[in-house]
Structure 1
Amino acid sequence: MKKRMLTFASLGMVCATFFLSCESNNQAEEEQLQTALETPAKIISNAQAAKLFQNDQQTRLEQIGKKNTRFEDKAIHFDLTTLENYINRLETLATSKNIPITGASFVFGADKNGQRTVFLMPSTRNAELDYQESFTIENGQFLTFKHVDPSLQPQNSSQNDENLILWPNGFISFNEATVLFNNYQTQYIQPFAKKVTKDYYTKAVWYSLEEFKQYISFLQKKSMQYNLAITGVDVFFGVYDNDASLELKSNAQTVFLAASTNKQTIVNTAKKSLQILTQDEFLLKADAEESNESLTFNEGQLSPPPPHYCYDENGRRYICPD
């Protein structure tokens, strides 16, 4: 009798262990699935971010006489809470003023010293030109900020009364943004255009409001999970490979985003610093770190779009009339 009881007890222990094992496996699979669902689709690997960063140095800065740009001057810092509040403000504005805000664009600029920068502007889709067009509101007037133009004209009167253009140093007016935009054209696009002829030159990178929210939420969760103390987002200029398979993105300027903690850029949950990785065998080290969760974000929509082309009877290409 004791043997039978012992057998049943043993069987019970086996069954319990089996079910616990099953439950543990299911839980692990669910956690993996949940992690995958919470990871934004536009998270890129460290190696991809590394390549974008190096391409920018080699194919842009070195080509236009800005080879010695310091790393500190390449990181454009946005406070994480400020960025989150800005996106929430745009959502509120879309509802209160019935404006079909589709997202926000990092618009390229350069300051008076020639240092590159970006500023954020809300965007709405321009159906006629088929691209995401930035805008702001001043004195109750809706003002478009056309990336398709080579330069923009300042307004007769411009004041920052709606706080819709976010620069790393605070909110700026339409005219202040125009100066930055025009500086980028003269100091970065025109010198490069003399060396490389392209159908279009990127002047902004667009993300939907939902993509912004997902990335901010992702960084906040990873910050708590891995004790990273992420306080901001650093924006870096990058350039895609000169690869025909990339089509319109081939050799195109873009930006990628990375987490920032205490004003140090980190690219993954192992707290690897972007600056350290760039100092020695960046690509090799980036490839070796793929097992760690990446915190870098890219694949935004480039703006302005390339021109629409038509062809004459001899097959010669020309820009289609509006």
Structure 2
Amino acid sequence: MKSTKLYFSALLCTLFLFTGCKDYVRGNGNSNDRPDIILTYPELVSMLQHYDKTRKQQFAAAVGKDEDTRINHFNLKDLKDYIAYIEKECKKKNIPLTGINFISGAYPDNYRLDPKKSNYQALIMMPATTIDGEENVSFDPFKSEKGKPLSLKEILEGYSYTSWTYDELKSRKSKKKSSRSTQKGGGNDLSPAGNRTGISPPN
């Protein structure tokens, strides 16, 4: 009896360790393989130097600050929760989530949620998919119909924002404006955009 209890205790501990400590495994089954997107240090340094040379002072001068935002920090748990939330909705709508687009924006003057961020640059995450053969198109899975992704561009037009020219450039030239409803809702009309980041500067 005692040995049976020890056996089941050991089994439970093994299951706990296996399920509780399991690392993310890439699609090829080997978590030790280096992802293709990893940069070398020479590549990293060349990109940082080029930013310093061509943008750092120019951006700061344009917004009247010593320096605009250089670092956007997303909490790891928030990132995982965000991706899981988007993936779940995409699966329900039968729309493949092909990636996450990081879009440049800026906090408006007198940003009420965090005044110190006012007028600083920020990155905004948006789900991406393929629409009419065009890849990496930002879209809203929550407003989309099953199997029919509704692009961010179409939604923004409902909010009278017509300056978004980064998606569906080829397909929209030969198509009439979508007949799907993109009218804006109330003040709590949630989008799939992710932000609420920590930024530096300001510190």
Distance 1:250 1:293 in 2: 21
Displacement after TM superposition at 1:205 (Å): 0.7
Q: Does the 8 A contact of 1:240 with 1:251 survive in 2?
A: yes
Displacement after TM superposition at 1:288 (Å): 3.0
Displacement after TM superposition at 1:187 (Å): 2.5
CA displacement, residues 61-86 of structure 1 (integer Å, 9 cap, x when unaligned):
xxxxxxxxxxxxxxxxxxxxxx995x
Q: Does the 8 A contact of 1:236 with 1:255 survive in 2?
A: yes
Distance 1:210 1:253 in 2: 23
The corresponding residue for 2:91 is: 224
The corresponding residue for 1:170 is: 37
5+ unaligned residues in a row in structure 1: which ranges? 1-82, 94-161, 307-322
Question: Normalised by the size of structure 2, how large is the TM-score?
Answer: 0.59
Corresponding residue to 2:142 among 269, 281, 286: 269
The corresponding residue for 1:259 is: 127
Opposite residue 225 of structure 1, the aligned amino acid is K
Distance 1:303 1:226 in 2: 37
Q: Which has the higher contact order (CA 8 A, sep 6+)?
A: 1
Displacement after TM superposition at 1:224 (Å): 1.1
Bigger radius of gyration among the two: 1
5+ unaligned residues in a row in structure 2: which ranges? 1-23, 131-135, 145-149, 163-181
Displacement after TM superposition at 1:295 (Å): 1.7
Distance 1:257 1:84 in 2: 23
The corresponding residue for 2:173 is: none
The corresponding residue for 1:185 is: 52
Distance 1:243 1:208 in 2: 25
Distance 1:295 1:273 in 2: 11
* Cα RMSD for the two superposed structures: 3.3
Displacement after TM superposition at 1:171 (Å): 1.8
Distance 2:161 2:85 in 1: 25
Displacement after TM superposition at 1:289 (Å): 8.1
The corresponding residue for 1:138 is: none
The corresponding residue for 2:12 is: none
Question: Normalised by the size of structure 1, how large is the TM-score?
Answer: 0.39
Displacement after TM superposition at 1:293 (Å): 5.8
Higher strand share: 1
Distance 2:154 2:55 in 1: 27
Opposite residue 217 of structure 1, the aligned amino acid is A
CA displacement, residues 236-270 of structure 1 (integer Å, 9 cap, x when unaligned):
00100011643221001000001111221103412
Displacement after TM superposition at 1:196 (Å): 3.0
CA displacement, residues 216-245 of structure 1 (integer Å, 9 cap, x when unaligned):
111211111222221211110010001164
Q: Does the 8 A contact of 2:105 with 2:122 survive in 1?
A: yes
Q: Does the 8 A contact of 2:101 with 2:126 survive in 1?
A: yes
Corresponding residue to 1:299 among 196, 199, 203: 196
Distance 1:244 1:291 in 2: 17
| Secondary structure at 1:267 match in 2 | strand
1:288 aligns with 2:161: no
Displacement after TM superposition at 1:294 (Å): 2.7
Distance 2:183 2:55 in 1: 28
